[in-house]
Amino acid sequence: MKRLVQLLAFVLVLGMVSCKKEANLSNNYFNSEETGIKNGGVKMITIETPKGKFKVWTKRYGNNPKIKLLLLNGGPGMSHEYFECMESFLPKEGIEFIYYDQLGTGFSDNPNDTIMWDLPRYVEEVEQVRKALNLNKDNFYLLGHSWGGILCMQYALKYQNNLKGLIVSNMMASCPKYGEYAKVLEKQMNPEVLKTILDLEAKKDYSNPKYMELLMNNFYNQHILRKPVNEWPEPVTRSMSRLNQSLYVTMQGPSEMGLSGKLTNWDVSKELKNITVPTLVVGAKYDTMDPEYMKWMATQFKNGTYLYCANGSHMSLYDDQQTYMNGLISFLEK
């Protein structure tokens, strides 16, 4: 009986210690670094550009001195808002993450100047944001999704000494290869639908409502997010509704079936070996990005690993959510 009492007491002490640790984690995680009036972690950061000073919007969620994840959204030209699904997964793991609207997107300033839509300039913008948020090689993880993946790879090639880890989500390291894969996906479409789309593109009639309607219901719902478009998560549709068309067309081009903008010839596939920080590459079976190429990419980084979303598409953080989030969390906690 005495041993049983001792055992129960020991278990009780362990439980109290565990609860105390969890309470401390919770208290620390939600501890605000803000002084004065609290504004929910929002910080407007002044950046220097060739055209003067502008402000970009950021918002910190949580507090973890060892894991600070900065999110680079895609498009190019969408807002941070489709990343809001992270709130359902990362806080309970104690992972700090930071929303960030790149210049010209979301709640950040929009200079309305196509000269500003330029990859090298965006790389320098990310570096200025990093400094303003006091991120460093001991805690700074950078996740780039889609266009954000291009930006994060280009950033790492110049500034990887400031990184603890890199996540390239649903983006190939070669736009020419991406363009080739778009042709592969074209062949999977209904021939009549594809012909109508290509006819509209030949006429440069991109503003025709029929163009986007056909894409949304015959391509986007298969390769961007695998759900009927009217069932897409609200943060995704909200983010897409804010798309900066000028930025998108300048960088990507007006066509959804390939590239014709500034990024058309972008290719860093032979430079990936120079990125030595731990890198997670995320690919998906139904993505607009070739999953086999993404798997190959992971082998090119010095410390690369591959996460395959077997049920996912370009927005695999939604349509293969558990696989995506479990893989991301595992990578960050390692």
As annotated, the active-site residues are 146, 287, 314
CA gap 209, 38 in Å, rounded: 44
Q: Is residue 154 a contact partner of residue 161, using CB atoms and an 8 Å limit?
A: no
CA gap 102, 108 in Å, rounded: 7
**Tokens coding 298:** 């992971």
CA gap 317, 321 in Å, rounded: 5
Q: How far is CA 259 from CA 54, 112, 231, 250, in A?
A: 29, 22, 28, 10
CA gap 320, 299 in Å, rounded: 23
Whether residue 76 has a cis bond before it, omega within 30° of 0: yes
CA gap 234, 303 in Å, rounded: 36
Q: Is residue 27 a contact partner of residue 10, using CB atoms and an 8 Å limit?
A: no
Closest to 130 measured CA to CA, from 35, 38, 45, 62:
45
- Phi then psi for residue 279, to 5 deg, are -130, 130
**Tokens coding 256:** 């959804």
